[in-house]
Amino acid sequence: MRRQGVAGLPYYLGINSLAEIATRQDRIVVLNAMGGESRRVTPMSHAYSGGNVVFGVSPGRRGEILATPVGDIPIYNNVREGMADGHRFDTGVVYLPPSGVRDGAAELIRVNRDLKKIIIITEKVAVHDAREIRALGQANGVDVIGGNCLGVADSWNRVRIGGGLGGDSPQEVLLKGSVAIFSNSGGFTTTIAQYLATEGWGTTALISSGKDVYIHYAARDFAHAFRNDDRSKAAVLYVEPGGYYEHAVDFGKPVVACVVGRWKTKLTRAVGHAGALAGSGDKAENKERWFIEAFGTGGIYTPETPAASAKGALVTNIADIPRALTEVMRLNGVDPDFAPTGSLALKPWMANDQGLNLPTDIALPTVRAMAPYDAQINALSGQVGAVIARQPMKDKSGASVMDPKTQEARIHGHSVLDLALEPLEAVFALPLVRGIAGPDDRVLVNIAVAAEEILAGDAALAAAEAAREAGNAPNVVLAAALAMIGPKRVERALACSRALIDLFARSSLADGHDEGFDLSSITVDDATRALFLAAEADADDPRPEAMMQAASAGGGKSVFLTFLAGLGERVSRDAILAAICTTIAWRPLMQKRITRLTAETMPWYLRLYGVMIGASMPARHHQPGSLCGIPLEDRFGAWSVADVCFLAITGRAPKGEEALPLQILIGLLISNGPGSITGQGAKGAVAADGPQTPERVQINKAMLGFLTHSGFSHGGNGYEGIAFLLEQFRGVELKDPTVPSHGLDLAAMARALAERYDAEKAAAKDVGAEVPALPGVHHPVFRGEPVNFDPRERFIAAFMERRGDYNVFHAFYRELVQAMYDVGASPYVFCVNVDAIIAALLLALFWKEYKSGHLNEQDLETAAFTVFLYGRMIGSAAEIDDHLNRGRNMDTRTPPSACEYVV
Amino acid sequence: MQVTGMLYGSRLLQHVGFPATEVLGPSATEDEIQDLITRHGLIFIKPLFKGGVGKKAKAGLIGKATDLKVALAEKERLYFAEHRHETAYAKANGVTFEAGVPAEHEVYFSITDDTRYRAPTMTLTHRGGVDIEEIPKGDVATIPFDALTGLKAFVVANALSDLGAPKEIVSPLVQHLPRLWELVHHYGMTTLELNPIRLRADSDGRLTPMACDFKCGFDRDDPRVSRLGLPPHLFTSDVSDFEQEVNQLRTHQGQSDVFVINPEGTILAPTFGGGANSLVTEVLGDAAIISSDFGGSPPYDKMKAVAAICFRHFLKQTNVLFVVGGKSNNTDILTTFRSIGDALREAFSQQGPVPLYVVVGRGGPNLVRGMGYLADTCDALGLPYRFFGFDSAISEVVTYAKRIDAWMKAGGRAELARKLGVNRAA
């Protein structure tokens, strides 16, 4: 039964020349042809090789076909059935699962006496099975290649058998030439061929040998066939540690060997002694030595130390193979097969440093990729802004997160504590552009919002006033105003945004503030131009000129405002608002940090911000062009957003840094994460409109969602702390709560309260009742230590200390928690929580107005609630934009199965 | 997956009825130890290591005792003995007490798959009891044999004849040694070494081979290993928690071989293809956290699960996420990059943002679509990146990743952390 192999070898080898390893005459059968990998690879191989697969085997799938570009491959249950149908083959390709490989090889050998070779693609074949496959092949005169390989290919014959050498476009890589490749790595077989081409070397036969313990077609077998292949002038070997396959092999022609894997020594978990184990004496270092001695080069070839001889060269870096081969062949007087096809230098195809300042030696600019990849990349770059995958966003947020340990909320990575220290104009755009605004953007945001605050003659103001007169809480008042700012009220502004993005998307503009940008390349058609220009209805609106003037005076650089100014005609407020928003959004948009949808809808948010602040002032304070009698021009450039908020709440202009505590309070209240009721309200409103059709989502209604989901318990409860402090400081002579020299004995006041509280607790315990907790004291998370702190309170307190600011109410709270412990009312020193510091700051803010009778207790409650709404408006914008971009229609609903009916 | 020592070795040998010296485990009572000494006169006390640990005797880690007092003293000395041999380090947890076997002859025997012959190969010498490499080659028989017929008695007999072994040991070895092939071949072993096998004389002078030390390696791709019912903890020293998690995902046609190279490394490199893995691991050196090969066209779910495990274990310490491979033959780049990108996005959701730079070097089907997806993910997460195609030398790309890592260490990470708003301490 044994077939006659190559004479003179102590074992069977049938392939005498590399020219025989993959020919157009080979006829193939594929085992497990309908498996996942074969289905992807076999059709391409079949087509490339001129249709060499005669049939495939997949048990139970007889009658099916594997479609290929050059005709269908029939499928049978087993090899015998295919042969019974008249098919003949001499080569088997095995894609079976590891446990089936041995039996598959046995089937091929036993059923088909014409079989010459088997190529095993499967990896992780047990050594037990590999032993038997080897023995079967030897006993029956069949060459086996693999396992755990990618098969073989021949560039001259345009044939590949088995795996996918050359990838999805083998003709690009398998270039006819004079070099044979034998590689332990399947992936690198293709990569080496591609690298060789850069130096002008093509290939003859390519063999992916695999690197299992049993390499069925090994270097020695390859060397024999290589010597007998007249086409092959040289060979490249890619060799990994393990086994003696390459030891003392005579290749007979020039060879470049690449040995990689010194690091593997680190992983060796040796068992037993030499001779009992593969793995000793066959490390990478040993193999390097074998080749260096065979080539007589004395060392490793590198571009710096080109150790090469006419026999060959050893490299340890795959990228050195082409140059080493050229050098070896030069010593043999042989030129490359064709002109070099390129270089292997670093060529970034895509890059984005996200504004980081990398040193120039690593900030490599992108280069145009080779065809056809350049066109594909170009098509990708045509997409403006980020693309975010949609997913159900119930109780999830890509904008905010609340750390359960620190109770610190973060918006787009920024802690509310840090945000509290930033001016509001620096924070207003954060929900949309995901960064804190720089100086230029702050000027622009301030202008945009300030222009929207004046509501004289606007239906929004009338609605707010009507709601206020009806006795509603501030959230309802603001909701009434925002209901008027529907899609039609922002239609033109959003259209302007879209137009600006379209006009500049293909330009090279990277930064919206780059006023040196050459606008001559931007051409505007008449319709777009008309979109930006003021209409007749805008004739009485003084704001466009004021806004442009303020931007110019304030140093708010903007390419887009410059562009509008260059139109030479009066532009509308909507166009200016859009230009400001596009300026702010441009860099993150180009960096694909935000979506185009976010950039386009940004004017809506800024308008809503302005209207909310404006509508929180009674109608009597609104006059055309002014608020509380202060002309818009006076505010532009001189007032911060926090100043205007102060004006809105107190009705008077702030002095000095009077508005700073307000800014801190608003910052602290921005978000409590997506689980807060306001967050749920905003997200639910977006989900109900259907974010998958984003153009239908009413952003003003989403803001209404947040407003209707605030109330006396959520938002209005800020007053609880104020009421508590008012009670403690009733009848006390306190002129200025921000000076330490107030003359009050806070420790005594605190001790008296603590004793009272302790007594009330004891009395209540006797009757089984509960005494309500003191507002601002204690926290379920920050507890249990001898002395406890709320880190948020500490953060603000530390900030105040650094500034030398004093707040008597806060100082009272600190005395109170100590006194409660001292009198035994608490088991340890409770923390002063963040609500306490909010109440302390709020009360100090309005103390003078309160004492003077300008504000009564109900006004204080309204003020506290309004401050909450200002803060949460920013956080809600983040949730709305996030849900709009990321969510799915109606994704916030709870399935009925998760709901409970309660009697 | 290796087992050394007689505690489990003697049990494994029982599967094929090969005689072994009597052994007590670490829980042996003083009475039992005394009884062993009483019956055998001499006992050996050996530290109990998990996995493959060699050269114990040369390190002075084998104790001898002829009375209980010395035995207990040796137990105390060796119970937590530490042993370093070449790159391997092991710490004992327990000792065994093994009966001494008086004998005139010591034999070395092993079976392994020898790549010079591409066949199972027996190594045998009657001058055993010492390291095999110290024995003159002429006294050692190395004989390949047919895997289909197995190790037959005549193979052993021929070898012993060629060696000129003492005639009294030939028959007992010819009778017993072939059974060891059954243990190797049918229970998923890749190698088995018994040294020494001591030939104990019974009352009428007949010799019986007794295995006195045991080492074997198992093929983790061979389900036959499970036939032995070995406790999983035996192999726990072989793999880290991370490796264990990833290896659980090993399935047909989906490589996921990983090793932790440096638990303190800063470049996390999911690598595709064994060749790329070798190159990357070698060039990255200690900067590499893991060495991996995720080639073989892994499906989306599996690749995402593997990436998620990588990120859960190592993302926090990572400066550079380095996705690299050659020009793939059939691994779909969009599928793998989509799975990595999605896993990264989820990791950021769960762990918070991590300041890292993404470097990619890859080629293959759907390359640009895959790069586009990963680029969009990086953009959305605010991560800087640089993607190279297959026309850049992979080794140059690896070196580039190292340069980015160096820059990250020299302040780049802190700068990026500030940009990402990672906590103030970062």
pLDDT tens digits for range B359-400: 999 988 889 989 999 998 898 888 999 999 988 988 889 999
- Say yes or no: B145 and B92 in one domain: no
For A466-486, how does the pLDDT look when each residue is reduced to its tens digit (9 = 90+)? 999 999 999 999 999 999 999
Cα–Cα dist B2/B4, whole Å? 7
Q: Which domain holds residue A602?
A: 438-639
Lowest mean pLDDT among A286-300, A498-512, A768-782: A768-782
Chain A CB contacts of B407 below 8 Å: 358-359, 362
Domain boundary among A639, A671, A702: A639
* Interface touch A190/B420, C-beta < 8 Å: no
Choose among A188, A245, A320: nearest Cβ to B115.
Answer: A245
- Say yes or no: B122 and B54 in one domain: no
Q: What is the pLDDT of residue B330?
A: 73
- Say yes or no: B275 and B411 in one domain: yes
Q: Which of A252-255's residues contact partners 24+ apart within 8 Å by CB, and which partners?
A: A252/A223, A252/A226, A252/A227, A253/A226, A253/A227, A254/A310, A254/A311, A254/A312, A254/A328, A254/A329, A254/A332, A255/A291, A255/A295, A255/A311, A255/A312
Choose among B282, B295, B400: nearest Cβ to A260.
Answer: B282
- Say yes or no: A648 and A724 in one domain: yes
- Say yes or no: A466 and A615 in one domain: yes
Cα–Cα dist A665/A867, whole Å? 7
- Minimal Cα–Cα distance from A35 to chain B, Å? 10
On the question of pLDDT at B25 being above 60, the answer is yes
DSSP B254: B
The residue with greater pLDDT, A209 or B331, is: A209
Cα–Cα dist B155/B161, whole Å? 10
Q: What is the mean pLDDT of residues B133-149?
A: 91
Cα–Cα dist B249/B244, whole Å? 9
The residue with greater pLDDT, A262 or A301, is: A301
Q: Is residue A255 part of a domain?
A: no
- Say yes or no: A570 and A580 in one domain: yes
Chain A CB contacts of B190 below 8 Å: 127, 213
Q: What is the mean pLDDT of residues A246-259?
A: 95
* Interface touch A354/B86, C-beta < 8 Å: no
- Say yes or no: A559 and A596 in one domain: yes
- Say yes or no: B253 and B314 in one domain: yes
- Say yes or no: B252 and B187 in one domain: no
Which span out of A540-554, B85-99, B287-301 was modeled with the highest average pLDDT? A540-554
Chain A CB contacts of B375 below 8 Å: 350, 352, 380, 592
Chain B CB contacts of A410 below 8 Å: 421
- Alpha helices by DSSP H, listed for A652-739, are 660-668, 677-689, 699-708, 718-728
Q: Is residue A162 part of a domain?
A: no
Ranges of beta strands (E only) in A243-356 are 255-259, 312-315, 348-352
pLDDT confidence bin for A798, thresholds 50/70/90: very high
Q: Is residue B36 part of a domain?
A: yes
Domain boundary among B99, B121, B152: B99
What is the SS3 assignment for A397?
A: coil
Chain B CB contacts of A187 below 8 Å: 272-276, 295, 325-329
On the question of pLDDT at B253 being above 60, the answer is no
pLDDT confidence bin for B354, thresholds 50/70/90: very high
- Say yes or no: A680 and A592 in one domain: no
- Per the structure, the count of domains in chain B is 3
- Say yes or no: A754 and A628 in one domain: no
B191 closest CA partner among B52, B58, B59: B52
pLDDT confidence bin for A720, thresholds 50/70/90: confident
Domain boundary among A639, A657, A675: A639
- Say yes or no: A481 and A571 in one domain: yes
* Interface touch A354/B188, C-beta < 8 Å: no
Structure token pair of residue A441 = 């953007």
Chain A CB contacts of B423 below 8 Å: 415
Residue with tokens 């690091």: A263
Chain B CB contacts of A140 below 8 Å: none
Q: Is residue B425 part of a domain?
A: no
- Say yes or no: B399 and B329 in one domain: yes
Q: Is residue A45 part of a domain?
A: no
Q: Which domain holds residue B76?
A: 13-99
Contacts of A520 (CB under 8 A, 6+ apart): none
* Interface touch B112/A278, C-beta < 8 Å: yes
pTM recorded for the entire structure: 0.66
CATH number at residue B48: 3.30.470.110
Residue with tokens 């180009």: A590
Which H or E run includes B255?
none
- Per the structure, the count of domains in chain A is 2
* Interface touch B275/A354, C-beta < 8 Å: no
Contacts of A249 (CB under 8 A, 6+ apart): A219, A220, A223
Chain A CB contacts of B221 below 8 Å: 98, 124-127
DSSP B410: I
DSSP A572: P
Q: For residues A49 and A161, is the Cβ–Cβ distance under 8 A?
A: yes
Q: What is the pLDDT of residue B423?
A: 62
pLDDT confidence bin for A890, thresholds 50/70/90: very high
DSSP A696: G
For A828-886, how does the pLDDT look when each residue is reduced to its tens digit (9 = 90+)? 999 999 889 989 998 998 898 899 888 888 888 899 899 999 999 999 999 999 999 99
* Interface touch A319/B396, C-beta < 8 Å: yes
Q: Is residue B276 part of a domain?
A: yes
The residue with greater pLDDT, B69 or A8, is: B69
Cα–Cα dist B79/B81, whole Å? 6
* Interface touch A269/B281, C-beta < 8 Å: no
Q: Is residue A808 part of a domain?
A: yes
- Does A150 contact B at CB distance below 8 Å? yes
Residues 310-369, chain A, touching B (beta carbon < 8 A): 316-320, 342, 344-359, 361-362, 364, 369
- Say yes or no: B267 and B317 in one domain: yes
Q: Which of A43-46's residues contact partners 24+ apart within 8 Å by CB, and which partners?
A: A43/A67, A43/A68, A43/A69, A43/A73, A44/A68, A44/A164, A44/A168, A44/A170, A45/A151, A45/A160, A45/A161, A45/A162, A45/A164, A46/A70, A46/A73
- Say yes or no: A545 and A688 in one domain: no
Task: Find which of B330, B349, B399, B404 to mutate to test the A interface (most A CBs within 10 Å of its CB).
Answer: B330
Q: Is residue A889 part of a domain?
A: yes
- Say yes or no: B300 and B217 in one domain: no
Q: Is residue B8 part of a domain?
A: no
Choose among A122, A377, A592: nearest Cβ to B376.
Answer: A592
Structure token pair of residue B304 = 């995402």
Cα–Cα dist A323/A327, whole Å? 6
- Minimal Cα–Cα distance from A587 to chain B, Å? 12
Choose among B147, B295, B378: nearest Cβ to A132.
Answer: B147
Domain boundary among B203, B228, B253: B228
CA distances to A55, A207, B290 from A223, in Å: 32, 12, 35
Q: What is the pLDDT of residue B302?
A: 81
CA distances to A17, A18, A235 from A232, in Å: 10, 8, 7
Q: Which amino acid is at A310?
A: A
Q: For residues A441 and A423, is the Cβ–Cβ distance under 8 A?
A: no
Cα–Cα dist A374/A870, whole Å? 48
Chain B CB contacts of A263 below 8 Å: 261, 278, 281-282, 285, 291
pLDDT confidence bin for B257, thresholds 50/70/90: low
Task: Find which of A121, A144, A354 to mutate to test the B interface (most B CBs within 10 Å of its CB).
Answer: A354
* Interface touch B328/A387, C-beta < 8 Å: no
- Say yes or no: B116 and B95 in one domain: no
On the question of pLDDT at B236 being above 90, the answer is no
Choose among A183, A272, A380: nearest Cβ to B215.
Answer: A272
For A64-92, how does the pLDDT look when each residue is reduced to its tens digit (9 = 90+)? 999 999 999 999 999 999 999 999 999 99
What is the SS3 assignment for B281?
A: helix
On the question of pLDDT at A10 being above 90, the answer is no
* Interface touch A166/B51, C-beta < 8 Å: no
Lowest mean pLDDT among A344-348, A497-501, A589-593, A726-730: A589-593
- Say yes or no: A505 and A487 in one domain: yes
Choose among B119, B392, B400: nearest Cβ to A344.
Answer: B392
Q: Which amino acid is at B232?
A: P
- Say yes or no: B143 and B82 in one domain: no
- Say yes or no: A531 and A645 in one domain: no
For A342-375, how does the pLDDT look when each residue is reduced to its tens digit (9 = 90+)? 888 899 999 999 989 999 999 999 999 988 899 9
Contacts of B395 (CB under 8 A, 6+ apart): A317, A318, A319, A320, B279, B283
CATH number at residue B171: 3.30.470.20
The strand pair at B320-327 and B267-268 is best described as: parallel
The strand pair at B290-293 and A348-352 is best described as: unpaired
What is the SS3 assignment for B40?
A: helix
For A870-886, how does the pLDDT look when each residue is reduced to its tens digit (9 = 90+)? 999 999 999 999 999 99
For B327-336, how does the pLDDT look when each residue is reduced to its tens digit (9 = 90+)? 777 778 888 8
- Does A261 contact B at CB distance below 8 Å? yes
- Say yes or no: B265 and B215 in one domain: no
Q: For residues B220 and B256, is the Cβ–Cβ distance under 8 A?
A: no
Q: What is the mean pLDDT of residues A218-244?
A: 95
Please state, for a pLDDT cut of 90, what percent of chain A lies above it.
73
For A153-192, how does the pLDDT look when each residue is reduced to its tens digit (9 = 90+)? 999 999 999 878 988 788 888 999 999 999 998 888 998 9
Choose among A244, A264, A274: nearest Cβ to B116.
Answer: A244
Angle at A168 between CA A165 and CA A173, to 5 degrees: 55
Q: What is the mean pLDDT of residues A490-517?
A: 93
Q: Which amino acid is at A45?
A: S
- Say yes or no: B19 and B132 in one domain: no
- Minimal Cα–Cα distance from A253 to chain B, Å? 22
For A743-766, how does the pLDDT look when each residue is reduced to its tens digit (9 = 90+)? 999 999 999 999 999 999 888 888
Q: What is the pLDDT of residue B173?
A: 96
Query: What ipTM did this prediction achieve?
Result: 0.85
Q: Beta-carbon neighbour count of residue B262 at 10 Å?
A: 16
DSSP A506: T
- Say yes or no: A592 and A634 in one domain: yes
Q: Is residue A697 part of a domain?
A: yes
- Minimal Cα–Cα distance from B381 to chain A, Å? 7
Rama region for A612: left / alpha / beta (φ>0; ψ in -120 to 50; rest): alpha
Structure token pair of residue B262 = 């440096």
Q: For residues A560 and A500, is the Cβ–Cβ distance under 8 A?
A: yes
On the question of pLDDT at A258 being above 60, the answer is yes
Chain A CB contacts of B291 below 8 Å: 263, 267
Contacts of B388 (CB under 8 A, 6+ apart): A346, A347, A348, A349, B359, B360, B361, B362, B397, B400
- Minimal Cα–Cα distance from A632 to chain B, Å? 35
Q: Is residue B426 part of a domain?
A: no
Chain A CB contacts of B275 below 8 Å: 183-188, 191, 238, 240, 260, 318
- Say yes or no: A632 and A734 in one domain: no
Domain boundary among B65, B99, B133: B99
Q: Is residue B69 part of a domain?
A: yes
Q: Is residue A606 part of a domain?
A: yes
* Interface touch B363/A167, C-beta < 8 Å: yes
Domain boundary among A608, A639, A670: A639
Q: Is residue B234 part of a domain?
A: no
Chain B CB contacts of A368 below 8 Å: none
* Interface touch A163/B329, C-beta < 8 Å: yes
- Minimal Cα–Cα distance from B204 to chain A, Å? 34
For A682-704, how does the pLDDT look when each residue is reduced to its tens digit (9 = 90+)? 999 999 999 999 999 999 999 99
Q: Which amino acid is at A799?
A: F
Q: For residues A558 and A444, is the Cβ–Cβ distance under 8 A?
A: yes
Report the mean per-residue pLDDT for chain A: 92
CATH number at residue B392: 3.40.50.261
The residue with greater pLDDT, A481 or B128, is: A481
Q: Is residue A516 part of a domain?
A: yes
